[in-house]
Chains A and B, each alone.
Chain A
């Protein structure tokens, strides 16, 4: 009985998500009488009952924008932003997590490390960028000197696990919303820009999952066996470890999507990130602040957000 109900919930969740995705992707082709960012100056803040006659089936917000158009194009923004961002996060997390878990070490001559660090310092415009250039120049001189004297420079090896875990811990010290909001405050971002920002700030979660699974899988006898056969590490990782190590991401992906849906809506509600003329459920909620009595502006996006997040959470359960 419980399983039937669970299966029913999953089906309903999937159906809702498909509906949101279909509505969002088809929004530009739908015969909507109003564009999402275009105010109807003769129908500002009208309720569905007052606006239905003029084609505003769900009314208009206090800025005169059609709520139905905002809802549909908001779904489009959500789909086009969160799905690629969640996939990119998973990809980045899988790559970095597997490298960290497989215990690879990155080895290179010391001047190469120094050159990279110097150029990085300069490229990121850290304090006194000339210092980075000087370090880079010093590294080049060191490398040339070693070659001139026919000596091989010392090789420094860096544990990828320590590097990736350290970077993840560093990102984890700042709350995700604060981090994204701080970057987004610098100016409006495009959909792709915001997606990239979400991925770059959220990869540590999936990376930790994949690392833990990689650590488990690499100790399994069949991996030991292929290693004994002398196969290269990249092949072992790609062919034999990753297919098993990526399993936790299947459960993580819907959760990540739900988190991104919430994050995007929060950013739009705060007026950060996407341009103000990009339709978003969070922006509809923000407009509802202008007139707390206009329930028809707040209710549809709230309901849509609730159902979408709930559906994603239901999908993540086994």
Chain B
């Protein structure tokens, strides 16, 4: 009898399903097309699905080869061009077994450069990779690709390797883009209608996106999308036979993905996410609000279950002006209004003083912070704000401020609408503080809390006067064009700022050849931002992670999302659990 029972027990043992690592997301990624990526969550998801030539090794704070066998060979061409030559790994394969080749790299770059008339969602990437002028392929070496870049900026090395590579044989079966050079696509005249081949390609690409209901374009990254319930949950499953698993040991850190299942729980409410973490329904809560973080750290019960990690970050909290609004079109008015933001008080109130004040978009933790050391942080001075508004041509009336009347035209009023993400305590405190300071000098401010999903669309459409926005910093790049270039209006440039001089400065900064030239231009850039005030940098928020102690491979980093996603896994019996940072 006992023998039978024992036999039955031994037969019924089936392999346990993989246990997911559960991570909190504040909002839904909305779109997984690597050309769109409307929010940080979408970028995180894209990094799981797709691979690029180089990927960031968070631990070393360096870009390391991913699809490429090594860092690119760099060659200067004259004094204005640089060629970066990459060799692709022979092991790199798509899911259907076909190799990743130079054709895929060229296709990905051309896709990002397609002219606007095609209606592809590539506005941001078109601008970001405009510095790549030519893609050279060699028939004899299908895994070798050379990228000819404008300028000799040291940051080009990283920038040329960090875009997702997409499969040409799946997305452009007929090879229609091959007929066009990268430069021809980049410089397609706005007045010239697109070629029929290009139009057919765009239709096919859009149809593919629609057919793939989750917008999950095929990628050569370690994970596939296993489930997506909008605004609730997103699950990624590790590919059972990912190409990087066949690499000889030791596998590079950027190509390790030990976790079999990653689940992102979309919980917009911070307090709810905190409770879920304490109840063990979440394994990782990134970007914990300062107050909740302090409470958890003080709680003995939470300390038993959770590990806490912090690191200085590059994320700058800003208030952006819509510079295309008539009332905010002039820099003196924006400068006056920026004096109504109490950055020191807000840092104390929202971060419990743990972040850092910043005078510009490059925060103190950034290695290039010395470029803005001459600028003092913006001051909080409502009386001076009122005086500056007067100098900017505004007159105070009992019902608010009005511009001095010009001829018979009605005098425009200074009535502002401030948008921020609803449910985000930090943003709400900033909005309330600005409104209170503004009302003290008679400026009317209406608050418009907006759901995270609708906020992005409202900002891109310019449906606001001011908005609270966190700008993701990147110490490896000096390309601020997606943030402030006039060609990025309606996309990343929510302040809709851009003059001929500022555009030129941003382009020169992105192409700066030497560190000295870059530093000089960065200094000018920071001064220009302060003078024009399209956005007001307030402070830098630190990275704060709270995680279940059973989670291994977790460390806090300054770069978004603040941790290396592909390093996370559940600690095994033989492996120590996550150790909190001292």
Contacts and interface: CB of A to CB of B under 8 A. Distances in A.
Interface string B318-347: 000000000000000000000000100110
B435 interface: yes
B270 A35 contact: no
A176 B419 CA distance: 29
**Chain B contact residues: over half helix, strand or loop, or mixed?**
helix
Interface stretch (A11-19, A36-44, A155-163): A36-44
Given A44-B291, A45-B291, A38 B269 contact: no
B247 interface: no
Interface string B420-433: 00100100110011
B433 A41 contact: yes
A292 interface: yes
Contacts of A277: 432, 435, 447
A37 B349 contact: no
Listed residue (B346, B432, B447) with the most chain A CB atoms within 10 angstroms of its CB? B432
A276 B436 contact: no
Sort chain A's interface into a size bin. 20 to 34
A313 B348 CA distance: 45
Contact of A39 (B275, B291, B433): B433
B446 interface: yes
Nearest to B420: A276
Interface string A45-59: 100000000000000
Contacts of A45: 291
Contact of B429 (A42, A64, A291): A64
Interface string A290-309: 11110000000000000000
Contacts of B448: 188
B449 interface: yes
B60 interface: no
Nearest to B274: A292
Interface string B96-112: 00000000000000000
B271 A39 contact: no
Contacts of A35: 436
B271 A291 contact: yes
Contacts of B295: 291, 293
Given A42-B349, A44-B349, A63 B429 contact: yes
Contact of A62 (B291, B342, B422): B291
A129 interface: no
Nearest to A65: B432
Given A64-B349, A290-B271, A293-B295, A37 B435 contact: yes
Interface in B47-69: none
Interface string B285-303: 0000001100100000000
Contacts of B350: 44
Contacts of A188: 446, 448
Contacts of B269: 289
Nearest to B352: A44
A62 B350 CA distance: 10
Contacts of A275: 446-447
A26 to B, nearest CB: 21
Contacts of A64: 349, 429, 432
A43 B425 CA distance: 14
A63 B449 contact: no
A272 B425 CA distance: 17
Given A35-B436, A38-B436, A42-B345, A291 B428 contact: no
Contacts of A39: 349, 429, 432-433, 436
A271 interface: yes
Contact of B270 (A44, A290, A293): A290
Contacts of B447: 275-277
Listed residue (A39, A42, A65) with the most chain B CB atoms within 10 angstroms of its CB? A39
Nearest first, the 7 closest Cβ-Cβ pairs linking A and B are A41-B345, A41-B349, A38-B436, A44-B349, A39-B432, A276-B447, A290-B425
24 contacts: A35-B436, A37-B432, A37-B435, A38-B432, A39-B432, A41-B345, A41-B348, A41-B433, A42-B349, A44-B350, A63-B425, A63-B429, A64-B349, A64-B429, A65-B432, A271-B422, A271-B449, A275-B447, A277-B432, A277-B447, A289-B269, A290-B425, A292-B275, A293-B295
